[in-house]
Amino acid sequence: MAEFQSYAPGVEVAGRTLFSVVEAAGAFRSLAIEILADQGIKHIREDEWYSQQAFLNAFREIRERVGSTTLRRIGSLVPAIAQLPPADDMTAALKMLNLGYEMNHRNGPIGRYEYEPISSNEGRMICENPYPCEFDEGLLEGVLKLYGAKLGKVSHAPGPCRSRGDDVCHYFVSW
């Protein structure tokens, strides 16, 4: 499944996750609010649930109007804002990312995040979901930062890519 297309029509995203869009928009905050409202996402409440497809449509519009850097920034703020399970170290945090994803999405197939360790401070993350590459790169950077990686690095691995219509993207992470 390519970017920006929910796997099922009823999938929803937690309001606490949507707050990251507004928080990350910075100087474009009012534009982000306008884009979300255009998709029917108004008066965001942390304890409410919203259409994932509307959220993905807003992401597409943010990329088109503001640029991919903002999507990366949004992703980088999600780990600190959204509800994620606790973890004792970086490896555990990366392994728990999928559980956090499941805690913030509901009502149908949502995809997955799968971590494969390579060594004690590097691994590969498989991202199979409808979000854009830039968002997932930022998300992984945010996890690294949240768990104390001062020199964390995320890079898109060669191979499949959702921006080219593939089902997954692979990323190398190191810290």
Q: What is the pTM of this model?
A: 0.91
Q: Please give the pLDDT value at position 1.
A: 61
Q: What does the alpha-carbon distance between residue 28 and residue 167 come to, in Å, rounded to a whole number?
A: 31
Pull the structure tokens for residue 156.
């898109």
Q: Is 137 a residue whose pLDDT tops 80?
A: yes
pLDDT in tens, 70-81: 889 889 988 887
SS (H, E, C) the chain: CCCCCCCCCCCEEEHHHHHHHHHHCHHHHHHHHHHHHHCCCCCCCCCCEEEHHHHHHHHHHHHHHCCHHHHHHHHHHHHHHCCCCCCCCHHHHHHHHHHHHHHCEECCCCCEEEEEEEECCEEEEEEECCCCHHHHHHHHHHHHHHCCCCCCEEEECCCCCHHHCCCCEEEEEEC
User: If you average pLDDT over residues 148-153, what whole number do you get?
Assistant: 87
Q: Is 160 a residue whose pLDDT tops 80?
A: yes
Rounded percentage of the chain residues whose pLDDT exceeds 90: 72
pLDDT in tens, 10-66: 999 999 888 877 877 778 789 889 999 999 999 999 889 999 999 999 999 999 998
Pull the structure tokens for residue 5.
């297309």
Q: How many CB atoms lie within 10 A of CB 9?
A: 10
Q: Please give the pLDDT value at position 86.
A: 86
User: If you average pLDDT over residues 144-157, what whole number do you get?
Assistant: 91
Rounded percentage of the chain residues whose pLDDT exceeds 70: 99
